[in-house]
Chain A
Amino acid sequence: MNMLTILKRELTSYFTQPTAYAIVIVFGLLSTLFAFTQGRFWDYGDASLHSTFFVFHPLILMILVPAVSMRQWSDEHYTGTIELLGTFPVKMGSAIIGKYLAAAVVWALALALTFPMVLTVNYLGDPDLSTIFSGYLGSFMVCLTFLAITTLISAFTRDQVVALISSVAVCCLFTILGLEQVINEVRRTGPEAKSAVELMTKVGIFSHFFDATQGRISYTSLLYVFGLISVCLFGTNLALKSQRA
C-alpha cells in the first residue's frame, strides 16, 4: 500500500516536471538516429530490428538511465525529505521499491513509444513480431539493471553530479566489458586470457542482452539481471541505514 503511494508520488513527479517527457523524446530521437546512421537501417534490411535498432540501446541507456535516476536518493538526502520518509510508519524497503518501479514504468513507456520503428518494418517487410518483442524485453532488462545500479549509487551521496558521474562510469563498465570488440581484443592477447574472456562475457551486459533480443532468455541471464537488481536494491537499503547509524 505504501509502496503504491510512493510509486504514485514519483510518477506524478516525473510527469509534472519535464523529466518523463525528456526521457521519451531524447531516447526516441537517439535510438532512431542510431538506427538510421550507425545501424544502416536501409542497407541491412533487418526486419527483426536486432542489429539496426536494439543493438545500440545499451550504449544509449548507459548514459540516459543514470541521468534520469541520479536524483532518486541523492535528492532525498539533499532536501532532507529522507527524514520524513524515515519517520513515517513504513519500511524503507517499500520506499526503495516504489521509487524504483516508478522509474521503471517511465522507461517502459519510453521504449513503448519507439513503436513507429515497428510500424516501419511492418510496412516494409514481414518481421517476426515475437523477435521484436524479445528485443524490447532485452532493452527493458538493460534499463532495469542500470536503474538498479543508479539507485544504489544515488543512495551514497547527496550530490546529484557525483551520483551521475559514478553511475555512468559503472554502467559504462558493465556495457564495455561485454562489447564484442573489447572481448576480441582481450582474446587476441593469448590463450591465458581465456578465463578473463569468460568472466567478461558473464559480467558484461551485452551477452545477456543479445540472448534476450534473440529470444533466448536463459536462466543465467535472468539470474544475472534479477540477481544484480536484488543486490543493488538490498545494498540501497543497507546504505540508507548505515548513513543514519
Chain B
Amino acid sequence: MIEVTGLTKRFGPKVAVDDLSFSVKKGEVLGFLGPNGAGKSTTMRMVTGFLPVTAGEVTICDISMIANPQEAKRKIGYLPESAPLYNDMTVQGFLKFCASMRGLSGTARREAVAKSIETCFLENVARQSIGTLSKGYRHRTCLAQSLLHDPEVLVLDEPTDGLDPNQKLEVRKLIKNLGKEKAILFSTHILEEVTAACTRAVIVDQGTIVADGTPKELEAQGGGSLYDLFHKVTSFETPAA
C-alpha cells in the first residue's frame, strides 16, 4: 500500500533524507523511530505529498504520489506533527470542512463526522471552539480529520504527543485496531509504543534506515532491549531537519 523507493530530500546542501526505501502493506503498522531531526517528519511530508521529493518514488495503493498527487492523496489520512487546526472553528465545523475537502457531502459527510467524533472521543467538545481546547483534545481533533474519509493508508506523525497516559493508551489501541484493515505509518520517539502498537518498526538516523524488523527482532538485535539498540544505532546529536 505504501511503497517508498530511494527517497531523498535535500534542503540546499543539507541532506535531510538519504535514499530511503521501505514499504507498508495492508494490515501492517510500521513504527518510524528516530531521534529528533532524523528525517522522520520530512519523510512523512513527502509520503503525503506535502513536500516535493528531490529523488525517489512514493506510491500509495499503486498510485504514484509524484505523477498523480491528487489521486494518491485521496487514499491517505494524515496527522501532521503539530496537529494544526483552524482555531476560529468549532470541532464539528472543522471536521465538516475537512470532510468537504475530501469530497464528502450530505449524509455521507454527516455520518463521517459523527463517526470520527465518536472514534476520537470528542463528543464533549464537538460544539466547542478549537481555540479553547486543551492540547489532548486538539491532537484528537486533528486525528479525527485524518479518519474522516476512511482512508486505506494512515500517516500519523507522533499521534500520541501531548496526550495523557489514558489517552495514549486509547490512541495506541485505536491504531492497532485500524491497522488490521489499513496500512499505517506512524512516527514516535516513545519506544514502548513500538511493542504496544506496531507490527514492524524501522529506526531512522540522519536520513537513513539503520534498523528494520518486528519489535521482537529489534529487541533481539539490542540484546533484549529496544533502548539499547536505539542508543547503539542512532547518533546523539543530529542536525535540525
Contact = CB atoms under 8 A, between A and B. Distances in A.
B145 A84 contact: yes
Contacts of B74: 89
Interface in A5-20: 5-6, 9, 12-13, 16-17
Contacts of A90: 70, 101
Contacts of A16: 88
B102 A79 contact: no
B82 interface: yes
B52 A245 contact: yes
A91 B85 CA distance: 19
A86 interface: yes
Given A83-B50, A245-B52, A13 B80 contact: no
Interface residues of B, number: 28
Interface string B63-103: 00000001101101010101011111100010001101111
Interface in B146-190: none
B50 to A, nearest CB: 4
Chain A interface secondary structure, helix, strand, loop or mixed? helix
A83 B83 CA distance: 10
Contacts of B103: 1, 89
Contacts of A6: 101
Interface residues on A, range: 20 to 34
Contact of B84 (A17, A83, A88, A89): A83
Interface string B47-65: 0111110000000000000
Contact of A5 (B49, B70, B76, B97): B97
Contacts of A1: 103
A110 B78 CA distance: 38
A230 interface: no
Interface string B101-142: 111000000000000000000000000000000000000000
Contacts of B145: 84
Interface in A82-126: 82-84, 86-91
A2 interface: yes
A245 B51 CA distance: 6
A45 interface: no
Given A17-B88, A87-B49, A244-B50, A9 B97 contact: yes
A11 to B, nearest CB: 12
Contacts of A38: none
Contacts, number: 65
Given A5-B100, A88-B102, A90-B101, A81 B73 contact: no
A79 B93 CA distance: 18
Contacts of A5: 97, 100-101
Contact of B98 (A80, A83, A84): A84
A245 B78 CA distance: 20
Nearest to A19: B88
A6 B88 CA distance: 14
A200 B5 CA distance: 55
A88 B100 CA distance: 10
A82 B45 CA distance: 12
A9 B51 CA distance: 25
Nearest to A13: B88
A244 B52 contact: yes
A87 B48 contact: yes
Nearest to A88: B101
A83 B101 contact: no
Contacts of B50: 83, 86-87, 244
A88 B149 CA distance: 11
B109 to A, nearest CB: 11
Contacts of A244: 50-52
Given A80-B84, A91-B70, A86 B49 contact: yes
Nearest to A241: B52
3 A-B pairs with the lowest CB-CB distances in the bound complex, closest first = A80-B84, A89-B73, A5-B100
Interface of A: 1-2, 5-6, 9, 12-13, 16-17, 79-84, 86-91, 244-245
Given A1-B103, A88-B102, A244-B50, 4 more contacts: A80-B84, A84-B145, A89-B71, A89-B103
26 contacts: A5-B97, A6-B101, A9-B86, A9-B97, A12-B89, A13-B88, A79-B84, A80-B82, A80-B84, A81-B85, A82-B84, A83-B45, A83-B80, A84-B78, A84-B80, A84-B145, A87-B50, A87-B73, A87-B76, A87-B78, A87-B80, A88-B101, A89-B73, A89-B74, A89-B103, A90-B70
